[in-house]
Structure 1
Amino acid sequence: MDSTKGSTDSEKLPAKGINREWIITNGLGGYASSTATGMNTRKYHGLLVAAINPPVRRRVMLSSLDEEIQVGSRACQFAAHQYPGALHPQGYRHLQNFSTEPFPEFRYFAEDVSVRKKITMVHGENTTVVRYDISNPSHDTVTFRVLPLVNNRDIHKLTSSGDLRLEQQLHDTGTVLEREGERLYIDSDIPFTPKAYWYYNMEYMTELSRGYPFREDNFNPGYFETEVGRGESSFFIAASTSGISLDMNDVDRIFNHEMRRRNQLTEKQAHKDDLLNRLIRAGDSFIVHRQSTGSKSIIAGYHWYSDWGRDSMISLPGLTLVTGRFDDARSILATFAANCSGGLIPNFFPESPSGEIAYNTVDASLWFIHSLRKYLDYTEDLDFVAGVWDTVESIIDHYCRGTKHDIRMEADGLISQGGQLTWMDIKVRGRELTSRRGKTCEINALWYNALLQASTMGEKLGKDTSAFYEVAELTKENFEGAFWNEDKGCLYDCIPCPEKPGSNEPVCLKDASVRPNQVLAVSLPFTMLPHVSEKSIMQIVKDELLTPYGLRTLSPSDPFYMGIYQGDTESRDTAYHNGTVWPWLLGPYITAYIKVNGRSNRSKDEMRNLLKGIEVHLEEAGIGTVSEVFDGDAPHNPGGTISQAWSVAEILRAYVEDIGSRD
């Protein structure tokens, strides 16, 4: 059980607990999330963050539930909020224990009264249910009071009291608050008393550290209050964007149903251990329903990312195939195939139904073919592959002939592309920080792999794929000569091209930066380099990029290396792909390392030991999940989102497919 003890060391709890966050999700992109102290430190935190147009248009509806007990004239508050110059109340002083398994649970103790608060969400609904179990062995009566702090705003914005106009209605079991047609229902078996009150200037300290606005006001519409007699008592409060009417039996059924659903996630695995089970449960949170397509998709990360094409295709094998969720895999692939345009699958879908799909990615389509082939390997579902074969042909045809964003195959069989189209795509003040315009090593590794994977699938369908083989041979003939850096014994990262095709601008020197992208030239099923070159690449990557949490995006010996990912947006963006560690790269690294070492049991044991850092991390930052990034410099503090899909997915995939398969 992961816990944060507060009874004997409460002074240290804020610093310890505030940096540990929990999150539960509802399969729609909505979630409930806060810290181990119960104090919100991000604008993204809330007990009900609803996806109005799943999995997007997420809104903070219920910020928190603030509990207190009163024994005679003595009142004890369990909430914690930061205000300018003050932390009040300091409910963490009464927090005996916090755990996340099987549900987020806070256990408070004050005045010889124990209050246990347990939280879940209804899968497939924007509904959060909180159960309270109170033990009062000593007092004739104790007053138990809960004050909901509500909001109704986009997750990226903050509210001031003058901005929020809520219409409030009462009903027999609670209250309804409405803003512009969006309703929040708060229901309970505890009587509700309306009493409007504003909490002003609440501060979210993580937003301050990230260089964003960090103060907002939250509205308190009243309070739930009841008298608790001697003995054991149970109550609940539920918040939802749709009408609800529950009793305690319903609450028990909701918790039990969610428990069964979670347990079923890990039942399909033949070889089980704690790390595997925790990764599978974490992976479940990213698979969501997309309302606009009526199918499944993958959220890239919590709290702020939506479903992105590149992230979805990289994450799909780990989240759905190694876990046996084949129906979800098929639905996700179908979603992106149906929206392919000009040989490109979506980079991301719009927040609004009237918005336009963005196609600014060169690698998502190549990852699509890779994931489709892996889907076929796992399921032998040729009928589905036949149904999306036109998408595969469209991708290869458009890449050969040229398509949007200057994506095209050159005469040497290598793919080149415009700017900001690979996964290293950050731009600051109009300047690409990792300019990769031209030919890049991993895109061409993916291109060759896609050609041969498409060829093998086409043959199973009875298609003539000889043209694919011919292009693949041309690509292979020229790849090593173009990208091999003899001086360093690894690959050039990028071969720049003129910004305008056909212009006479001089081409810059090949980019000799040591980056992790070259690992894909070793890890993919079909590769182009001789074994000795692959071994050399892996040694360079191990020596210069490997950390316990992933691969650095740039060698520390590079003058542009930045080892700390912190500060305002520009500071973080500058470091994002220039030294910052990415856990998702552990997946291809593990696959490649075991491959070049002959898939020996020793190499598998080495890679299993490598994951000990991730096991420790599961108790940090986002509890039970894996962060987006880490500092390049030790001690490699986590950063970015607290829960990132491809971080979880690629570690999970490599753990099952590579480490778990013993010879």
Structure 2
Amino acid sequence: MKPCTLCFLIVLSLAACQSSDNEKEEETPEKKAPLFDLGITIPPGENREFAYTDKQDAYFYGRTHTQENDDWFSGWNVRTRRIFRDYQLALDGQALKREQATVTVYPNQLRRVYPNAEEELSLFDHKRVLSVQVRTAQGNNLSIALIGESIRFESQEGPTAFYTHTEYPDVVVGVAPRLPMDMHALVEGEQVSLSTGIASEGFFIALDSTKAAVQALLAEARQQHDNWAAERQARMENLITENNFFESNDPQLTNAIRWNILTLDQLIMQQTGYGIYAGLPWFNDYWGRDLFITLPGACLVTGQFEVARRILQDFAKYQNTDEASRNYGRVPNRLRPDDIIYNTTDGTPRYVIALFEYVQYTGDTALIRELYPSVQRATEGVIKYWMDDNGYLTHDDADTWMDARIESDRPMEEKLPWSPRGNRANDIQALWRHQLQASIYFAEQQGQQADADKWQAIADKLQQHFEQDFLDAQHPFMADRLKADGTPDFTLRPNQLFALDLVSDDSLRFGITRRAWEGLVYPWGVASLSQENPDFHPYHENPDYYHKDAAYHNGTVWLWNNGIAMQRMLEAGQTDEAYRLFQNMSRMTLDMGVVGGLSENTDALPQPGADWPRLSGTFLQAWSNAEYLRVWYEYFLGIRPDAVEQKIVIAPRLPQQLGALSFQEKVFGGKVEGHFMRGDGENTYRYVFHGLNTTIALHIGIFKPVEFLVKDGDELLLRLNSLEAAWQLLGQTPQPLVADPGLVRLQQDADEIFEDVTFCSPVLKPGLGALSGKDWLKKKRGG
């Protein structure tokens, strides 16, 4: 059943919302092609980044208005290798001036409208072909020139020009008119322009290993490009109309959710098996840690379960299986077509946890059977090489996500860390315990009780020691790590937010969350180090004073950490404060940086005179987008599938600013359709369950949780007002929601702790070491 749109929400009733056949027939083309409703027109002064991938192993990155983009990794990149950095179009020998164009970026293509022509740039799924279409051209001849230091014109055969690459001798590039027409190469020194008539409608650019293969691909493109484009469009539209339909009374929210789904999806690739690019432009490969942080937001909340399955299967193939290696059991930190490295601690726990999360969403126990040997290796490798006497997972100083090292001539493992966190970081212990819990479940599923008992004893030991080792009465927050000598390091960093599940006292958890929020969370995101710390670096890139890696984890904001920060606030019932940060991420998605996505970083503080910081790092980072989506679906909408317990938790926490919304999400083998409307004194929720036969666990604020069975087609109605709170399965008697005294006290406690909570106020403290002289922190670290 297609989700009802907001026009139906206005007249929400107990009856199911249905669209008549006549209404379907009268749908406009725009309704059938929602990608074009998402177009964002960019003013010339903004000159924003854009990127498209082919979902295989290539992407094109450019800027909307730059005439010749020379940014690092700009242009067409295939299997981590840049082929050329840009192209130049001309009409009758006169360059089309991008700064004069009206540029609109859509999820599937870029459109530049010049005074005398219209250009559309697009890629196709799993085809190494670029389409540069030019229409409504006013002139006679159209030409294109490929721009790049390593691309070389080699020859022309008929209407196809061939290029070679000085760095990659296995690469052949071909350029030909989109429609069969003559083409001429005009050579002026090292610059080559390919000229044809305007009736050609532009050019195809193809890549393969031989001329014959390129010719065949170009011929196929001429015949199939409309089908390829339609298939790509249909795939994208399915993501935001079937898998994850979403609409609200807030256009910014609606469009940001849709854009983030589509932009993140284009980073799901098949370069070295299935995987997810960590970020563009330079993280165009798979990073184990990033991939498994990203997987829930990219694949699980979006209902792409088969893709998630393939990612887990393919990445497991690269696990280290050498029992004599200290990396035994680890999955790769980085996986490239030509290289594998294992130098991280948290990638492997996150792999095991991601497998558990996949099972929660799907109930696919067959994958447990297949991957259980890799789970055993992942867990036993830690026990053999890295676990201490208290059950903690030890690690090197730069083997957490804060992994930057000072560049030097030393071997990688001997390079000094910019942000030392050895040898027992708080988030690593939380991940290790979660890995153990997941592994225990897998072991019991497979009848391996000896494994389960062994791992349970380790998990219990870790839990017994954690609070006494990482908390004390003098600090209102958690130690970031235990040093090798066992002393705690109470540096205020965001990692403690990942470890709060190891804190048993609710009030203490809330207090730590508030301290972290007000000490680290700016309106734009979570700083990697408190601005009160003497090592704080206010700006990511400040080359007059330091290398950017000095600031990378010493102040710079990481947008992916916004997810856990908002989650902790939502768990404490602080919905509106969490939503303020979420709203800012929505605005950044649409109005700042790469069109339709989120960057890796921002500066911690705005530049003098500015009210918002500069974006930094990769312009598009997978885990930033993924955490935005994960926290929206699992904690704001509150849909949390739990196939392990054979139920779906529904626990919405919607902000006061939202008046109405509709959504649809895939879970297990079916879908949950949801609607919300905020009325005059009453909030109404309606859920429809499609293709499901399961238990619903309803967790609504301070009310006692309620569990009940639903089957395909059942509808659930919730009404909350000042006089009553009730739930009802349609056709049955309404049931009251009863306040739970324990939950009431817990929420009262939380509200007192968070009273008047605010974002961290950005302050540039005088006398910062980072701004006192060149390479201050590097000298302090001994680099």
Counterpart of 2:744 in structure 1 is: none
Counterpart of 2:518 in structure 1 is: 543
Q: How far apart are the structure 1 equivalents of 2:457 and 2:344?
A: 25
Which 10-residue stretch deviates more, 233-242 or 327-336? 233-242
- Is 1:455 the counterpart of 2:451? The answer is no
CA deviations over 1:643-663 (Å, ceiling 9, x no partner)? 111111111111111111224
Select the residue among 506, 509, 514 that pairs with 1:531: 506
Counterpart of 1:195 in structure 2 is: 186
1:206-221 aligned within 5 A: 219-221=190-192
- Is 1:629 the counterpart of 2:601? The answer is yes
Cα 1:489/1:118, change in 2 over 3 Å: same
Q: How far apart are the structure 2 equivalents of 1:548 and 1:368?
A: 31
Select the residue among 258, 262, 287 that pairs with 1:277: 258
**Structure 1 residue identity aligned to 2:55:** G
1:163-562 aligned within 5 A: 164=150, 166=152, 168-179=154-165, 180-188=169-177, 189=179, 190-198=181-189, 219-226=190-197, 235-242=201-208, 243=214, 244-245=218-219, 250-266=224-240, 267-272=242-247, 273-291=254-272, 295-305=273-283, 306-341=285-320, 342-352=328-338, 355=339, 357-402=340-385, 408-429=386-407, 430-464=415-449, 465-497=452-484, 507=485, 509-522=487-500, 527-562=502-537
- Is 1:656 the counterpart of 2:627? The answer is no
**Structure 2 residue identity aligned to 1:238:** F
1:10-49 aligned within 5 A: 13=44, 15-17=45-47, 20-49=48-77
Equivalent position SS for 1:349: strand
Cα 1:39/1:372, change in 2 over 3 Å: same
Deviation at 1:183, TM superposition (A): 0.4
Equivalent position SS for 1:420: coil
Cα 1:577/1:224, change in 2 over 3 Å: same
Cα 1:165/1:29, change in 2 over 3 Å: closer
Q: Is the 8 A contact 1:316 1:371 kept in 2?
A: yes
Q: Is the 8 A contact 1:132 1:236 kept in 2?
A: yes
Counterpart of 2:622 in structure 1 is: 645
Q: Is the 8 A contact 2:98 2:112 kept in 1?
A: no
Deviation at 1:534, TM superposition (A): 1.1
Cα 1:473/1:93, change in 2 over 3 Å: closer
Equivalent pairs counted in the alignment come to: 558
**Structure 1 residue identity aligned to 2:457:** E
Deviation at 1:640, TM superposition (A): 0.7
**Structure 1 residue identity aligned to 2:46:** K
Q: Is the 8 A contact 2:403 2:419 kept in 1?
A: yes
Deviation at 1:297, TM superposition (A): 1.1
Q: How far apart are the structure 1 equivalents of 2:474 and 2:158?
A: 77
Cα 1:145/1:568, change in 2 over 3 Å: farther
Which 10-residue stretch deviates more, 572-581 or 181-190? 181-190
Q: How far apart are the structure 2 equivalents of 1:93 and 1:462?
A: 65
**Structure 2 residue identity aligned to 1:492:** A
Q: How far apart are the structure 2 equivalents of 1:101 and 1:340?
A: 35
Cα 1:358/1:389, change in 2 over 3 Å: same
Unpaired stretches in structure 1, ≥5 consecutive residues: 6-12, 79-90, 137-141, 152-158, 199-218, 403-407, 498-506, 598-602
Equivalent position SS for 1:3: strand
Select the residue among 141, 148, 154 that pairs with 1:144: 141
Counterpart of 1:504 in structure 2 is: none
**Structure 2 residue identity aligned to 1:595:** E
**Structure 2 residue identity aligned to 1:624:** G
Deviation at 1:586, TM superposition (A): 1.3
Q: Is the 8 A contact 1:47 1:128 kept in 2?
A: no
**Structure 2 residue identity aligned to 1:460:** Q
Q: Is the 8 A contact 2:333 2:347 kept in 1?
A: yes
**TM-score normalised per structure 1:** 0.80
Cα 1:40/1:530, change in 2 over 3 Å: farther
Equivalent position SS for 1:566: coil
Select the residue among 126, 134, 150 that pairs with 2:128: 126
Deviation at 1:49, TM superposition (A): 2.1
Q: How far apart are the structure 1 equivalents of 2:399 and 2:619?
A: 25
**Structure 2 residue identity aligned to 1:301:** G
**Structure 1 residue identity aligned to 2:274:** K
Deviation at 1:29, TM superposition (A): 3.1
Equivalent position SS for 1:544: helix
Q: Is the 8 A contact 1:167 1:178 kept in 2?
A: yes
Cα 1:166/1:559, change in 2 over 3 Å: same
Cα 1:181/1:459, change in 2 over 3 Å: closer
Q: How far apart are the structure 2 equivalents of 1:146 and 1:462?
A: 67
Q: Is the 8 A contact 1:32 1:49 kept in 2?
A: yes
- Is 1:614 the counterpart of 2:614? The answer is no
Deviation at 1:607, TM superposition (A): 2.6
Q: Is the 8 A contact 1:68 1:146 kept in 2?
A: yes
CA deviations over 1:444-477 (Å, ceiling 9, x no partner)? 1111121122222333333311222211111011
CA deviations over 1:324-363 (Å, ceiling 9, x no partner)? 11111111111222222212111112442xx4x2111111
Deviation at 1:246, TM superposition (A): 5.5
Cα 1:549/1:463, change in 2 over 3 Å: farther
Equivalent position SS for 1:622: coil
Select the residue among 96, 108, 132 that pairs with 2:114: 108
Q: Is the 8 A contact 1:493 1:518 kept in 2?
A: yes
Equivalent position SS for 1:241: strand
Deviation at 1:508, TM superposition (A): 7.8
Deviation at 1:606, TM superposition (A): 3.6
Equivalent position SS for 2:349: helix
Unpaired stretches in structure 2, ≥5 consecutive residues: 1-38, 209-213, 248-253, 321-327, 408-414, 607-611, 639-651, 653-699, 701-783
CA deviations over 1:289-321 (Å, ceiling 9, x no partner)? 134xxx301111111112111111111111111
Q: Is the 8 A contact 2:288 2:334 kept in 1?
A: yes
Q: Is the 8 A contact 1:535 1:596 kept in 2?
A: yes
**TM-score normalised per structure 2:** 0.68
Deviation at 1:102, TM superposition (A): 4.3
1:74-113 aligned within 5 A: 76-78=94-96, 91-109=97-115, 113=116
Q: How far apart are the structure 2 equivalents of 1:557 and 1:409?
A: 33
What is the identity percentage for the equivalent residue pairs of Structure 1 and Structure 2? Answer: 21
Q: How far apart are the structure 2 equivalents of 1:575 and 1:31?
A: 29
Q: Is the 8 A contact 2:353 2:438 kept in 1?
A: yes
Counterpart of 1:87 in structure 2 is: none
Equivalent position SS for 1:290: coil
Q: How far apart are the structure 1 equivalents of 2:356 and 2:99?
A: 54
Which 10-residue stretch deviates more, 125-134 or 572-581? 125-134
CA deviations over 1:219-246 (Å, ceiling 9, x no partner)? 53232232x5xxxx67021111131125
**Structure 2 residue identity aligned to 1:133:** R
RMSD: 2.2
Deviation at 1:376, TM superposition (A): 0.5
Which 10-residue stretch deviates more, 185-194 or 642-651? 185-194
Cα 1:99/1:270, change in 2 over 3 Å: closer
Q: Is the 8 A contact 1:146 1:225 kept in 2?
A: yes
CA deviations over 1:490-539 (Å, ceiling 9, x no partner)? 11111111xxxxxxxxx3853211000000013xxx53432122111110
- Is 1:591 the counterpart of 2:613? The answer is no
